[in-house]
Structure 1
Amino acid sequence: MAARVLVTGAAGRIGRAVLTLLAERGSEANALVLDDPGDLPARLVVTGDAADAKTVGAALEGADAVIHLAAIPTPEHNTAAEVFTANSLTTFTVLEEAGRAGIRHVALASSWGVTGLPWTAAENPHPPYVPVDEAMDSQVADAYGLSKQVDELTARMMARRHGMSVVCLRYPYVGGFEERLLAHAARLTADPAAGARDLWTYLEVHDAARAALLALDVRGSGAHAVHLCAPEIIVPYPTEELLRRYHPGTVLRGPLPGRAAPVDTSAARRLLGFTARNLVGRDGATSR
């Protein structure tokens, strides 16, 4: 386990959960944020743009690992050029400065958006097959999804360039139960079509943080991309029934009994030893 971890985007949803988990495990944290909210449990808080090399260098003081979460999280509120430029340059800068500083373990927030399904211009995009895995061809037609593709390519280059281990975590819809997930479950239960692009997947925020910390323990150099999600979908309907209704041309490569998530997370289990623990139940209740 790393002794001190730089967390970029530390004031965000996953960032705060990561800082809390680091504190619980006795590891120190540095935080890089655009604005200091004043309540982050970090030894060092650096404010500034994660695309600026000097700022990142200052934030790396004493760190021996990096969890890179800073990004524009959707393509909905910025121009395409702003989203692509900010996300791609930020990831390049953080990984380059980390490598130059001797960091050899990085966890990087990628996204379900790398598949292209959430924001493609197509009216009803469909995965070619399920369970979706890391080998599935992307349908990206938006700047955010493209930026995440570039992030993963950057991770591969930086792994070669600096002998680093970089794990790209393809996060789905993430939130806390009371903060986000229960309302999301109710919304999609009422309108399952609204979750079709995400295949009704989700991940509870503390599970998202735990996956990031596990990614720092991957040995050797190289870049890896893994899908993450809860093992069950967030709505109280049979998965195969939803697929027949909303993705009728998608090939079912294996049975998906009950509410099984139509995403293959076996790579995360093999590489990280990660399985999500915090679940939204059939009746909207939560389990841990």
Structure 2
Amino acid sequence: MSDVPRRVLVTGAAGRLGRMTLDLLARLGVPATALDLHDPGGLAADRVVTGNAGDSAAVRDALDGVDAVIHLAAIPAPVLGTPEEVFCGNTRATFVVLEEAGQAGVRRAAIASSFSVLGLPWAARPLHPAYVPVDEALPLQIEDPYGLSKQADEATGAMMARRHGMTVVALRFPLLGGPGDKFDKTAARYADDPGSGAKELWSYLDTRDAALACWRAVALPIEGYHAIFVTARDTLAPQPTEELLDRFHPEVERRAPLPGRTVPIDLGEADRLLGLTIEHPHPDATEPT
């Protein structure tokens, strides 16, 4: 299980994280196949397949010569389609990609899950986690089709690990972006209106670090199925985390100190499995007025 992949399939390759992952693979000298609905040109892959990740024929074509899969194709929010399109499209793609990969003998896969699997970000009413820092054992409170699709994707990953003897790592990503991107505007909004980030626990991750997490999930000697949170170690909010929790999640049990702007998410599993160093923290936000 310690062999470095010789060719990686990246689905959702034309998306922001897909492009960043292809760029990283190119810098590492790892050949990549890109799968997306359309070829926009300029993808850092020596093979591009156009098609739907939920289409078995397209996926089988894309898997030619591949020994690891990074599955990123999805509708990334419940507001970007009907509930049926979001849930059924996302879960079908994950099932098809992992099943076809398993049948083809691929034994390493990483899939993009989401912090939204907790249910907090897209709920119609304010929800609170059972405790902080949240970890992978936290009870889920899903009320939306996107979060439910991620719960189903994680269950699919666990099943495929058993069915095919695969390693499948589901990466629970928060808000992704980078400097000069949405992060600057989000950090400014949290400074003025910190409650607007309470559903996400003010968490974030630079897309470059997310791409590195994807690569490590298929390149390191990991076995079996794992779902893990991967975030920056600080928050995008300039206020101290304990102060934010006092204001917006006051009744939530605190199981560990959260000094300064420490993100209220337990990253122990990410540290243990990926040994991930966050290389691109967002610069400290301006202190609130």
**TM-score scaled by structure 1?**
0.96
- Structure 2, unpaired ranges of 5+: none
- Within-5 A mapping of 1:1-288: 1-121=4-124, 123-219=125-221, 221-283=223-285
CA distance in 2, matches of 1:279, 1:129: 25
Q: CA deviation at 1:187?
A: 1.7
CA distance in 2, matches of 1:284, 1:14: 27
CA distance in 2, matches of 1:144, 1:20: 27
The alignment-based identity, stated in percent, is 54
Structural RMSD (CA): 1.2
Q: Which amino acid aligns with 2:176?
A: V
Q: CA deviation at 1:221?
A: 3.9
Secondary structure of the 2:219 match is coil
CA distance in 1, matches of 2:151, 2:285: 36
Q: CA deviation at 1:79?
A: 1.0
Change (3 A) 1:192 1:216: same
Comparing 135-144 with 179-188, greater Cα deviation is found at 179-188
Q: Does the CA-based 8 Å contact 1:230-1:277 persist in structure 2?
A: no
CA distance in 2, matches of 1:265, 1:283: 22
Q: Extract structure 1 runs of 4+ deviating beyond 6 A.
A: none
* Number of positions where the alignment pairs a residue of Structure 1 with one of Structure 2: 284
Q: CA deviation at 1:217?
A: 2.4
Q: Does the CA-based 8 Å contact 1:105-1:218 persist in structure 2?
A: no
CA distance in 2, matches of 1:210, 1:255: 28
CA distance in 1, matches of 2:90, 2:108: 20
CA distance in 2, matches of 1:98, 1:275: 29
**TM-score scaled by structure 2?**
0.96
Q: CA deviation at 1:66?
A: 0.3
Q: CA deviation at 1:284?
A: 5.4
Q: CA deviation at 1:120?
A: 1.7
CA distance in 2, matches of 1:109, 1:163: 20
CA distance in 1, matches of 2:99, 2:220: 19
Secondary structure of the 1:113 match is helix
CA distance in 2, matches of 1:183, 1:16: 22
Change (3 A) 1:260 1:79: same
CA distance in 2, matches of 1:189, 1:275: 26
Secondary structure of the 2:49 match is strand
Structure 1, residues 201-239: CA drift from partner, whole Å, max 9, x if none?
Answer: 000000000000000024354110000111000111100
- Structure 1, unpaired ranges of 5+: none
CA distance in 1, matches of 2:63, 2:184: 36
Q: Does the CA-based 8 Å contact 2:222-2:273 persist in structure 1?
A: no
Q: CA deviation at 1:282?
A: 2.2
Secondary structure of the 1:279 match is coil
Structure 1, residues 128-187: CA drift from partner, whole Å, max 9, x if none?
Answer: 110000000000011111100000000011011111000000000001211221122112
Structure 1, residues 64-98: CA drift from partner, whole Å, max 9, x if none?
Answer: 10000000000012111111100000000000000
Comparing 159-168 with 268-277, greater Cα deviation is found at 268-277
Secondary structure of the 1:76 match is helix
Structure 1, residues 184-207: CA drift from partner, whole Å, max 9, x if none?
Answer: 211221111110000000000000
Q: CA deviation at 1:55?
A: 0.2
CA distance in 1, matches of 2:169, 2:196: 30
CA distance in 2, matches of 1:99, 1:213: 19
Q: Which amino acid aligns with 2:97?
A: V
